[in-house]
Every structure is written in structure tokens, then in C-alpha cells.
Structure 1
Amino acid sequence: MTEPSPAWSPRTLAAQALGHIDEPSRAVVPPIHIATTFLRDPDNQYRSGNVYGRADNVTVREAESIIAALEGADAAMVLGSGMSAATAVFLALAPGDHVVVPKVMYWALRGWLQNDATHWGLRVEGVDTTDLDALRQAMRPGETKLVWLESPANPLWGVTDIAAAADIAHAAGAKLAVDSTCATPVLTRPLALGADIVMHAATKYLNGHSDVIAGALATLRPDAFWERIRRNRSMFGQILGPLEAYLLIRGMRTLPLRVAAACTSAMDLATRFAGHDHVAQVLYPGLPGHPGHDIACRQMQGGFGGMLSIRVRGGERAAIDAAARVRLWKRATSLGGVESLIEHRASIEGTGSPCPPDLLRLSVGIEDPADLFADLDAALRGANA
């Protein structure tokens, strides 16, 4: 692999895939390595570093090296899904450990923590992590081993001060892990703000084309806890296949461009809908009136993300009706792709969802924002006619 210049920007690192050249063919696109087993040396050693496909794959390592570079990390690992990446962190803890998590977070992980994590002996406490006093009060020095954050937090888009949360966690002897899926390393580098681990549902922005399920973790300082996660990935089979790793590499090459376009369009839409006759509230950190705006300005560089939510005047019926009327937006779960998605989250998340019933979550893609506004504007007006 060509050694990148330390002066290269994240945009250049992503576009060049760290400058990789396949030496045998001199191709600028890395090949897909699909072997499951590898030849031993005559003395029975594995000097190639590859032993067995479950733990060793060159294409997977290339994807990991790009993520590590984008996050400013010493090490990264990719896993079979965002959920496998998130749960791998919690499953590396010991029975009886106390963990602090947000009340508002990715719904599938919240459900796992509420319904399944206790079977592993974990003690889970949910708090409003945007309230640093509440976070501080939740800490149990000597017992709390992990604080988990999500910022901005899906789907209400609250912003937590990562640097301050890191100080609180570390003072109690706990690690801080941050789900930075929606911020992406283009906008926020949690490790530089004091986090110990950063997690991504790589299915979303990192891949960006709605054709790969993947997860990623990165750390500044690989330690015994990190090695437990790595071992569990192999032993539990939480691996990512080489084809998916290849597609993830392909997607990351345009990550900064896609994120920049989504941020610009999301800000445009948030501003327009903030004064819309049929929108009661816009939830977006980029708006000056958002409670986390000042923190977002400090820890998000280059934009405030491609995700926002709107609360529709007329309540749940009008919100669902508006989502049914769109033609350009796609009614679909997920986020971070090149296509714009709309979803009535309360219906998806079900009982216990923090989502107001009048809320529509918007994932802004790379289409013309004028077209996106016109489509949703017409849907909102039709729903309230």
C-alpha cells in the first residue's frame, strides 16, 4: 500500500482509499479477496498474518484502515452490521457491570439493552445524556464501566457534549463509546474529543448506497477491552464478508462529497420548513434555536448532518397522510443513502418510542433540495387540505 502523506485531508484519504495500488496488477481499485484458508509456511508458521477467513481477510483490513484514518484512530474493525458492532462493545463487559446509555437512541439498540442485555448480567441505566448533571449523577464510580452516547441522537437529534461526557465517564473509571453514525467522521471525530471508542452503522453514510449491511468500531488506544471485542467478533462470527467490505470501500471513497451535499440540503430544508404553515417544529442541530446548536457548532465541523425531523400540524393522522403522499421521497427505513427517505418513526418503533406521533424523520440524500422541498410541501398541504 502506498503510504499517504500526513498532510492529506480526510477527503483525499477517502477518495484515494489511502492510495492503495494492487501491486500484482497495478490496478487502482483493490481486488476482492475471498479465500477462507491460507497456506502455512514450511515451518508451520503463518508469516502472512492470515490464518483463517473468519478472522483474517485482506479486503476487510483495507476497509478497516480507511475507517481508522478517517477517525484518526490507531485501530478499527468492521463487523457484520451496526447492531453487531454496538452489541460487541457491551458483550465485552463483565456480568454485573453498570452501563449508562441515552434515553433517546437508535431504537433497535435501545430495545436490546432493555430486553436482552440484562440476560448477560449488565445493569443498564438510561438518562438524558444532553443533561450533563443528569449524566454525572448516574455515574457509579467503580461500578460504571461504560457510557454510551449517540450524537446527534436518532430521531430527535439532541446533541451531547462529547468532550464533557468523556471527562465525566473517565472520572468515574468508565470508558466512553460514541455512536457517530449520523455525524460521520467527516463532521465529528469523537476520539479527538476524548471518546475511547467510536461506532458506526456503516450501512448508512459510510457505505451510502443502501446495498451493504455493516458495522464499524474504532479506537485511539487498543487495550485489553478492545482485544476482547476483537476476539468476540471472531468467536461469535460477527464478521463482515469480503464483498461487503469491498463495497464499503467503494462507498467511502465519496463519503465527504455525499455528506457535504446532504448537509447543505438538510440545512436548506430545515430553514424552509421552520416557517412552513403545516409544520409545528423542525428538529435539526443546524438551526440557531435548537437547544444543542452551540455544542454542535463546537464539535461538528463542516455541517450539521443530513438528518432532521419535522412535527406535522394536524397530528399523527396528518403526518402519516403526508408520508403517503410523497412522490420523490421514499417511504423506507434506514438513512444515509444517496436517495432521500421519509418515515413515520412512532409507527416503526412501537410501544415505548420517544417519538411524538406527529413526527416524520427525514434522511436527506443528494437530490436537488428544491425538488425535495416541493414534493414534501405538496404532500403536507394535501394532507392538511
Structure 2
Amino acid sequence: MSESAAPESQAYHFGIVPPGTSPNVGWGKRPELLPEAGLDTRCVHAGAQPDPAYGSVVPPIYQTTNFAFFDLGTSSGFDYTRSGNPTRARLEEAIANLEGGSGATCTSTGMSAVLLALNLLEHGSHVLVTEDCYGGTFRALEHARNTYGLQVEYLDLADLEAVKAAWKPNTRLVWIESPSNPLLRLTDIAAVAALARERGAFSLVDNTFLSPILQRPFELGVDLVLHSATKYLNGHSDVVSGAVVAAPDRKDLAQRLPYLNNLLGISQSPHDCFLVLRGLKTLTLRMAAHQANASELASRLEAHPAVARVNYPGLPSHPQHELAKRQQKGFGGMISFELKDPTKVPSVLRGLRWFTLAESLGGVESLVAHPATMTHASMTPEARRRAGISDNLIRLSIGIESLEDLWADLKHQLD
């Protein structure tokens, strides 16, 4: 987005109302007050102030490649949609507001958000990564290692002494998934972020599993938050999207991120931004429903005789349950579990009625996945074994359907 602004007379000619000329009505017209509002209110109103051109309550889709200049060197603030678009700017404003960051940039997919974050690093940088990270993240890191000279080390970030021992003079980033995908292991985010800042590196938290409703990484001291906005932020399984957000005290990163997004050509399309903006309005309601179902199902799964282990931070049996209570606002809608009899895994995966066998997560509908052959198939067998991802591990994304319908479905297959 260029810095030039439209002269008032010409702005009206193009149907653009200059800032400050339209009535300041309602919360939607007063985004500067949003930080004082609750998350429920901000989900509805962030990035959704009435459109200044015609007063549209729902932000319009600016489905255009380019924007007219008012004169030589004078634009409306937008010139080319890859560089900036009003619909995308609304979404970036909203996500930055919800996370409490200084700025956000939205990308075409969650994986392009991963790519964008990695492009902040210099050649030869050393990166410490959650050992059971998402398979796509693993694939991107390995590609960067083999092609761009990135040094990557996977380890249990919950072990702070191991993190200190792994540190190198060229360590530039700690990549945190907490909870991790698919084992839902946690990292003491505040401790690792403090260590990174103390040693001149920055920390990143992939907040996809919990969203800003259930986890606030910037309040724990991290520098960057990443989302596959395809998941809970959108929530309706009808768009792919990514976002990277800079911490409130890292305006330097907030400026670099849009520059890199434009340079790499991975910015999100206006229509996809519109869909995520729509999804954000119900984020608090959906997260509450996801979590309520998941919490009860995790307890019932743990008590079932066919189940060997359940991974869910909300269970008292989870080894990091106390950490989850301390650093999270809730436990989320993701569960993974292992069966005592591995031969039963295919029949469970094929037989479920309300759980669709599919990748992805975070939509209103429930999904079931087999990480070893689906989400984490890109990891080598050795890497999966090292991370603890077994062939009899099943991952559930709990939707907002009737709890009893979901349990009856699971119980029928387990029985």
C-alpha cells in the first residue's frame, strides 16, 4: 500500500470518502477503541467498520487487480492488489487486533505464512523447532535446509536445559508449536521466549490450534505469531489462508512482513480475505463449542477400555496439564489418541459416521485423520519415531455437532 493519499475533491470523484468526513457512528467507526473492548466485541467489529465509500456494514470485496491514481504520484493508498488491497487490509487489521500485535500480513495459505516467516532469516541461520511439528512445516524446514542453507534442529522445547544446550552463536529463531500437532505437547512459551530475547534471537508461536481466544502468545513475550487461518480463524472449511503477526514491541518486524509478502507474491486474495473476516465474527462462540465437546470426549475416550492413551491438555493426566492451565485460556478442540490394538485403527478410521476422514482441522464439522499416512506423511519414518508419532495414533478435530452424536459414533467403533 503506497503512502500517498487522495486529494479530497478527487477522492469524492472516485466514490472514496476521505478519512474523518463520514459520521463517527458506533464501535465499527471507532477502531481506536477496540483494544478496550472484550474479545467477543472485537471479533465482531475489528476490521469491520462501515465502508467509507457507500456505508456497507459488511466490508466489501475489492475484487480488482489495480487501483486508479488520482494524479502522478497520488493514489488512494492502494495501487496493486499484490501490494495491498482494502479487503485484505481489513483482515490484517482484525487479526493484529485480536492477537494484540503491532501489525499482521495475510498470505495465500498457512504454508505460505511459514515460508514468509522463514524468509526473515539470513542464510545459514540456526533454528530450533518443536520436534513433533506439523508435517508441512517439517517439509518446508527440510527444503530450506537442503536448498537455502538453513540449519534446523528438532528437539523437545519443553526441556529448557536441552534448549540452552542446543543453542549456537547463529541461532536466530525458536519455532514453537504449543500445543503441538499431533501430540498436543506444550512448551513453556514465556521461558523459551525470554531465553530467545536474552540471546538475540526471536521466537515464533504457531497459534493455529488455540487461536487468540484460547492463547495469547504476545502476553508471554514472543516476537511473532503464525496462523493457518484456514483452520479456526475461518472455521468453515471453505478457504485456505495464512497470517503472520508481529508483537506490539516489534514494529520492525511489522514493517518487514508486508514487504516480504509483496516480494514473494504470496499475499491473500480479496475474496478469501472476505471469507476469513466473516468467520472471525463467530470465533469466540465456535471456540467455546469446540472446547466443550472436546473436553468431554477426551474424558470419555480416556475411560474406554480400547484406548491406550489420550493426548489432551485439559485432562489432569496430561503431563503438562498445570502448564496448560497457566499459559492457556482454554484447552482447545483437538484430541489425539492411541488404540491398544493397532490392527483396529483402519476399521475405526473407515467406520466413523460424523467424523469425516480428511486432513485439516478447525471447521465446524468433526474430522478424523491418521497422522502417519496423512498430515505427517512427509516426515521420514525415523523423524516420526523420534517425534513419537506412531502408526496407531488417531487425531480428531472436534466440531460443534451434538456431543452425544459424536460420542455414540466414537463408542460404536471402539466397541
- Could you say which TM-score interval applies, normalised by the shorter chain? over 0.9
What is the rounded CA distance, in whole Å, between the counterparts of 1:116 and 1:124 in structure 2? 9
Which residue does 2:361 correspond to in 1?
335
- Identify the range of structure 1 (26-35 vs 44-53) with the bigger mean alpha-carbon deviation: 44-53
- Preserved contact between residue 341 and residue 364 of structure 1 (Cα < 8 Å): yes
Which residue does 2:25 correspond to in 1?
none
- Identify the range of structure 1 (215-224 vs 63-72) with the bigger mean alpha-carbon deviation: 215-224
Any stretches of 5+ residues in structure 2 without a counterpart? 1-27
> Alpha-carbon deviation of 1:306?
0.3
Answer yes or no: is 1:318 the counterpart of 2:344.
Answer: yes
CA-to-aligned-CA distance 1:336-370 (integer Å, 9 cap, x gap): 00000001111222333231111110000100111
Could you tell me the TM-score, scaled by structure 1's length?
Answer: 0.95
1:357 to 1:277, Cα distance in 2 relative to 1, 3 A: same
Runs of 4 or more off by more than 3 Å in structure 1?
115-118, 221-229
SS at match of 2:29: coil
- Identify the range of structure 1 (22-31 vs 199-208) with the bigger mean alpha-carbon deviation: 22-31
Answer yes or no: is 1:186 the counterpart of 2:213.
Answer: yes
The code of the aligned residue for 1:7 comes to: E
> Alpha-carbon deviation of 1:12?
0.9
Which residue does 1:291 correspond to in 2?
319
> Residues 172-321 of structure 1: matches in 2 within 5 Å?
172-220=199-247, 221-301=249-329, 303-315=330-342, 317-321=343-347
2:171 aligned residue (121, 144, 148): 144
> Alpha-carbon deviation of 1:118?
3.4
The code of the aligned residue for 2:78 comes to: N
> Alpha-carbon deviation of 1:163?
0.5
The code of the aligned residue for 1:151 comes to: S
What is the rounded CA distance, in whole Å, between the counterparts of 2:37 and 2:196 in structure 1? 33
What is the rounded CA distance, in whole Å, between the counterparts of 2:138 and 2:48 in structure 1? 38
Which residue does 2:113 correspond to in 1?
85
1:61 to 1:19, Cα distance in 2 relative to 1, 3 A: closer
CA-to-aligned-CA distance 1:61-115 (integer Å, 9 cap, x gap): 0001110110011101100111110121112211111111111111111122124
- Preserved contact between residue 139 and residue 172 of structure 1 (Cα < 8 Å): no
The code of the aligned residue for 2:44 comes to: A
2:49 aligned residue (10, 17, 20): 20
> Alpha-carbon deviation of 1:15?
1.9
CA-to-aligned-CA distance 1:219-261 (integer Å, 9 cap, x gap): 1234444444322211211110000000010011111111110
- Preserved contact between residue 211 and residue 232 of structure 2 (Cα < 8 Å): yes
The code of the aligned residue for 2:219 comes to: A
What is the rounded CA distance, in whole Å, between the counterparts of 2:258 and 2:146 in structure 1? 22
Q: CA RMSD of the aligned region, Å? A: 1.4
What is the rounded CA distance, in whole Å, between the counterparts of 1:320 and 1:116 in structure 2? 34
The code of the aligned residue for 1:340 comes to: S
Answer yes or no: is 1:374 the counterpart of 2:408.
Answer: yes
What is the rounded CA distance, in whole Å, between the counterparts of 1:297 and 1:34 in structure 2? 43
CA-to-aligned-CA distance 1:103-158 (integer Å, 9 cap, x gap): 11111111221243331121111111111111121112x41111110010000000
CA-to-aligned-CA distance 1:306-343 (integer Å, 9 cap, x gap): 0010111211x211211111111111100000000001
Which residue does 2:390 correspond to in 1?
356
1:226 to 1:248, Cα distance in 2 relative to 1, 3 A: same
1:46 to 1:365, Cα distance in 2 relative to 1, 3 A: farther
Which residue does 1:35 correspond to in 2?
64
Which residue does 2:182 correspond to in 1?
155
- Preserved contact between residue 3 and residue 18 of structure 1 (Cα < 8 Å): no
Count of matched residue pairs: 377
Could you tell me the TM-score, scaled by structure 2's length?
Answer: 0.88
Give aligned-pair identity as a percent.
40
